[in-house]
Structure 1
């Protein structure tokens, strides 16, 4: 008799060739073909985050959902931030978290709304009775083939969500996260090996990498560790909701050294490690989870 968890883990490492598909931005995991693997059946925790409290932006699907599941299985209470239109995905993820026996709080809103993002950290800390971990993960990615077609409005929206929100959330987090806490930012392979059709997205990811190092130097003085994770091509709702050209989806991630796209469950352990006491001497570092793409 086979182990369902083992089967799921193997499935998460298969090479996928998604059919051409498109969803309106921001996309839903429930409508993806094939579905992404967030570790719902395969991730097993070892109490590495027991008693900790985390706020995760973009926690409804993709990497954020996988991180939320992993954190919960490791014993952390979690506050999920996501767009209201992503509520159906968030409720699915929350059920997995609740089954892990941890506290789950929903904090939907739009990070482009300054009132929402300026109050988000305090709301999470109030809901969870404190805050130990901030995961700045929410992102906006729209593929545009030519700079001539890349509008100022899109550039501003991408920077607003991807990097400006990180300044606001991190500023607030440093007021409530105590010594031994952690801030983890999601950058990307695009910061180091940018694609020309993701010009604005890649620019924000480069900014996040430098922001991480600068913030890490400041935050270390109060005992808070700041690090980043740089995923490569990971199968998430960003991709079929205009994050990639539709015709490129069947070969998404096939140019990595492993010859395939990664699944969100393959990225989440990096966040667990950086949030845990096992990473107590890691500050200003970037963990690359990219299937073998070029990196510094």
Structure 2
């Protein structure tokens, strides 16, 4: 597998899956579900595209019903819903802004009402804007990045806890950047460091309730966030995405989905407060 991305950009955040060239891969044809999540309900923020869509499809193939929370990418969300339903599972899509705590509670409540419960929360919605100088990060950019990337995780987790029972799982999406740093993404990287601390602290608090909290740390993955952020800064950087990793390429969302299945299922019953690094071979020791 190798990169085959032409230089490109998208002119709005969040990015759109429908504008990706080439399209991303969300699940491999040879992935065989085995009922690991049968009877479960999962809520996934940012589930319309990229890593979130991959998690949704993998969860569905493993037997879960899925609620997808997204911002305003209605076509992407409709396609994600179609793909989940093609796996024979129920799916609802919920548009809204995770920066709003009231919306997060309403999304959780709608999930429980429509799908009959909640067992897995995946906090995945994310926002990043490239700035190569700290002085160019405005107050608005800094506050927006934190509001989406970490405040939304807190709001969703707090709302979900009322409904999560022993054996349930919270999975947060962090990033390789919080472990190695990224000169172009200081605010984004800072939020991912906050997610690391949130995951570890919450895991300790919820152990007594038998609710596991873990995180996945992707490296460079072919998602709409890349052309919509890095591509706006320099479309050529999209063409070389992931070339600096030991494997020499970017990953596909399909290569992330199984990590979320593991953390959502009983296979990880002795795992909490931990990070799965899916980054193309970069050793980060964290």
Q: TM-score range by the shorter chain?
A: over 0.9
Partner SS for 1:230: strand
Structure 2 equivalent of residue 35 of structure 1:
23
Could you tell me whether the CA contact under 8 Å between 1:16 and 1:261 is conserved in 2? no
Structure 2 equivalent of residue 80 of structure 1:
68
Structure 1 equivalent of residue 182 of structure 2:
195
Structure 1 equivalent of residue 127 of structure 2:
140
Distance in 1 between residues matched to 2:153 and 2:89, nearest whole Å: 26
Structure 2 equivalent of residue 282 of structure 1:
271
Q: TM-score, normalised by structure 1?
A: 0.93
CA drift of 1:42 comes to 4.8
Confirm or deny that 1:227 pairs with 2:214.
Answer: yes
Could you tell me whether the CA contact under 8 Å between 2:7 and 2:237 is conserved in 1? no
Could you tell me whether the CA contact under 8 Å between 1:193 and 1:294 is conserved in 2? no
Could you tell me whether the CA contact under 8 Å between 1:40 and 1:69 is conserved in 2? no
**Pair 42,82 (structure 1): closer, same or farther in 2 beyond 3 Å:** farther
Could you tell me whether the CA contact under 8 Å between 2:168 and 2:212 is conserved in 1? yes
Compare 13-22 and 29-38 and name the one that shifted more: 13-22
Cα deviation per residue 1:199-227 (whole Å; 9 max; x = unaligned)? Answer: 00000001101110000001111010000
Could you tell me whether the CA contact under 8 Å between 1:136 and 1:184 is conserved in 2? yes
Match of 2:248 among 259, 266, 270: 259
Structure 2 equivalent of residue 179 of structure 1:
166
Distance in 2 between residues matched to 1:42 and 1:33, nearest whole Å: 23
Structure 2 equivalent of residue 158 of structure 1:
145
Confirm or deny that 1:130 pairs with 2:117.
Answer: yes
Residues 84-95 of structure 1 mapped to structure 2, 5 A cutoff: 84=72, 86-95=73-82
Partner SS for 1:34: coil
Match of 1:271 among 241, 260, 271: 260
Distance in 1 between residues matched to 2:164 and 2:174, nearest whole Å: 21
CA drift of 1:41 comes to 4.2
Could you tell me whether the CA contact under 8 Å between 1:27 and 1:240 is conserved in 2? yes
Q: Which runs of 5+ in 1 are unaligned?
A: 1-12
Distance in 2 between residues matched to 1:197 and 1:221, nearest whole Å: 40
Distance in 2 between residues matched to 1:23 and 1:62, nearest whole Å: 17
CA drift of 1:40 comes to 6.7
Compare 17-26 and 167-176 and name the one that shifted more: 17-26
Partner SS for 1:176: coil
Structure 1 equivalent of residue 12 of structure 2:
24
Across the aligned residues of Structure 1 and Structure 2, the Cα RMSD in angstroms comes to: 1.3
Partner SS for 1:26: coil
Confirm or deny that 1:250 pairs with 2:239.
Answer: yes
Compare 114-123 and 66-75 and name the one that shifted more: 114-123
Partner SS for 1:287: strand
